[in-house]
Chain A
Amino acid sequence: MMQRIFLTLIYLFFAILPTFSQHEEGHSTHANATVHENEEQMHSSDHKAEQKFDPAGTAVHHISDANVYTILEKTFPLPTILYSKDKGVEMFSSAKFHPGHHEDGHQSYNGYVMHLGSVYRVNDTSFPQVGSAELPEHAFVTKQENIDGKMRDVHYVQFEGKEFKMDPRSTLDGGILGGGMTSFMDFSPTKNVVGMILVSLFLLWMFLKIAKRYKSNPEKAPKGMQGLIEPIFLFIRDEVAIPFIGKEKYMKYLPLLMSIFFFILGLNLFGQIPFLGSVNITGSLSVTLVIAVLVFIIVNLSGNRHYWSHIFWMPGVPVFVKPLLAGVEVMGLFIKPLTLMLRLAGNISAGHIAILSFVGLIFIFGQSGASLGGSVLGTVVSIPLTMFMMAIELIVAFVQAFVFTILTASYIGAAIEDHHHVEEGHH
């Protein structure tokens, strides 16, 4: 029975996917636009497409990091810290951009503008480089251009009748994901940073309180939050730390494993709370990259002679296979943290996109408010699907935190395993 419901929902999910791609087809010149009413003057050619709701663009915008924090319609400005080689470090509040609808800035500041919550730089001397400048309504245009044989989104801002190219912030992907080093870097405490700080402070407060109770009442049964956390704590200790790392050494790595688990779990769950910005923190590669790199460093610093011999000179295989295996193992060294990074970010972002897509059904069916009956139908379809997806996402939040932790534990376990134990394991 459950299986049948599940299959039906999966089928429904795939059935509505073509709807998205059809919309995207008619939309190729404006990947990030949503409902823009007044853009006829600027884009009379694709004016019909402009009226349509763009689910992909909306979803992408909602899972993106931003330099403002929007809860419902209220926009909270955040500090902006920008660095460029020619202008140096600049710090100001993102309120200077006067962010409005869709987190688009109504003003430029020191040559920077805000589009969909992100800061861009207009690196052009004919654009005002000092102080504020008022931008026209719907100043931002996205075009697809062929750059080095690849189709890329290029954003433009209109100012005094001219279009200026906007440079996005520098990214660390080296062009693999369409980013790369540009004319400036953004070191701002963004929406994701604020979310991370809030969650970390909450977790710290909670765990310090629990630790205090453990200290003051060491022989009492767990109570309240302590009772909620202790089974999870014991689960990580007994099912993750001890089996993989061993009874003698697990204590050294337990704080790291617990930190990883609760940090990821907290952020996953925080992102699930509706109307709280739906911050996609663990779904952004920057965050998972940092944790994965830390795991990589810790694993390889802990690696003993036995671990390295298994990588570079695998015992027990013919000599001609050894260099081959060494190559594979060295690749594995880097693939392990890479998969850690991608798995978590992919799963959490996918969940956010799925929920946004189901919510987007309301707008697709209702033709952006033009059809009331469609809206009602969309709502009826959307609510159970969204509820289902949210339930799945709750499970995913736990599962991904657990998977990240258990894999970390297994990598550490493999790095510090004694030769002894392996031999015992083989017999």
Chain B
Amino acid sequence: MAVSVRIPTILRSYTGDESQVTAEGDNLSAVLESLEASYPGIRARIVDEDGKLRRFVNVYVAEEDVRFSDGLDTRTVDGTQISIIPAVAGGAR
């Protein structure tokens, strides 16, 4: 279950400046574990101590905000595109 993950500028210090990396896992939680194995430290920047998605991080699986689907349990089928994007504090009208 290989998926593609877009990495925001803020986290590229973990990925050697790579903006797009591959990871494994059939749900988001497993994908984040896989990322952690490849890039130690990155998972804690995305989820907090309680294992929840951090408040100012948005994660999209196949362009859908996972807060609208199953959060960290969101399924990630083979080839899915995942994007990690810092939340803009306040959108704008």
Are chains A and B native binding partners rather than an unrelated pairing? no
